[in-house]
Structure 1
Amino acid sequence: MKMVRTLSLLGLILSWSSVIFAVNLHGYIQWNNLCPNYGALASAKVLLDAGKMSGRVTRNGNFSILDVPPGTYVLSVLSHDYSFDHVRIDVSPSEPLPEVRPYIFGTPLLMTTSVSLPYPIVLIPRHKNRYFSPRESFNLLGMFQSPMMMIMVLTGVMMLAMPYIMKQLDPETLDGLKGQQGKAASIEKSIQSGDPKGLSALLSAGEETKASMPVAKSNTGPSTLQQRKGGKANKRR
Structure 2
Amino acid sequence: MRISLLVLALASFCISTFALDLKGRIHWNDHCKGLNELGQTKVALDNGKLHGGVTRDGSFEIPDVPPGTYVLSVQAPDHAFEQMRVDVFETDSLPEVRPYFPGTPLSAASTVTLPYPIQLAARVRYDFFVPRESFNLLAMFQNPMMMMMLGAGVLVLLMPMMMKNMDPEVMEEFKERHAKMTGAGAQLQSGDLSGGLSQLFAAASEDSKAVTSGQSKNASASGAKQRSGKGKRR
TM over 0.5: yes
Displacement of 1:60 after TM fit? 0.7
Displacement of 1:58 after TM fit? 0.4
Alpha-carbon distance in 2 for matches of 1:130, 1:139: 25
For 1:123, give the aligned amino acid: L
Give identity over the alignment, percent: 44
Cα distance change on mapping 1:155 and 1:10 into 2, 3 Å: same
Q: TM-score, normalised by structure 1?
A: 0.65
Alpha-carbon distance in 2 for matches of 1:110, 1:136: 49
The structure 2 residue matched to 1:216, chosen from 219, 224, 227, is: 224
Displacement of 1:188 after TM fit? 4.0
Deviations 1:28-71 (A, max 9, x none): 11111111111211232111122221111001111111221110
Does the Cα contact within 8 Å between 1:101 and 1:115 map onto a contact in 2? yes
Cα distance change on mapping 1:91 and 1:190 into 2, 3 Å: closer
For 1:59, give the aligned amino acid: R
* Corresponding residue for residue 170 of structure 1: none
For 1:61, give the aligned amino acid: G
Displacement of 1:134 after TM fit? 3.1
* Corresponding residue for residue 139 of structure 1: 136
Q: How does 1:164-179 map to 2 (within 5 A)?
A: 177-179=166-168
Q: How does 1:104-183 map to 2 (within 5 A)?
A: 104-154=101-151, 177-179=166-168, 181-183=170-172
Does the Cα contact within 8 Å between 1:23 and 1:97 map onto a contact in 2? no
Question: Aligned with 1:64: secondary structure?
Answer: strand
1:60 paired with 2:49, answer: no
For 1:216, give the aligned amino acid: A
Cα distance change on mapping 1:178 and 1:113 into 2, 3 Å: same
Q: TM-score, normalised by structure 2?
A: 0.66
Question: Aligned with 2:90: secondary structure?
Answer: coil
1:81 paired with 2:78, answer: yes
* Corresponding residue for residue 169 of structure 1: none
Cα distance change on mapping 1:15 and 1:144 into 2, 3 Å: same
* Corresponding residue for residue 232 of structure 1: none
Alpha-carbon distance in 2 for matches of 1:57, 1:180: 87
Displacement of 1:99 after TM fit? 0.7
* Corresponding residue for residue 38 of structure 2: 41
Displacement of 1:84 after TM fit? 1.4
Cα distance change on mapping 1:111 and 1:11 into 2, 3 Å: farther
For 1:118, give the aligned amino acid: P
Question: Aligned with 1:115: secondary structure?
Answer: coil
Alpha-carbon distance in 1 for matches of 2:103, 2:155: 58
The farther-off stretch of 133-142 and 56-65 is: 133-142
- Which runs of no fewer than 5 residues in structure 1 stay unpaired? 167-173, 225-237
Does the Cα contact within 8 Å between 1:31 and 1:124 map onto a contact in 2? yes
Greater C-alpha Rg = 1
Alpha-carbon distance in 1 for matches of 2:127, 2:64: 35
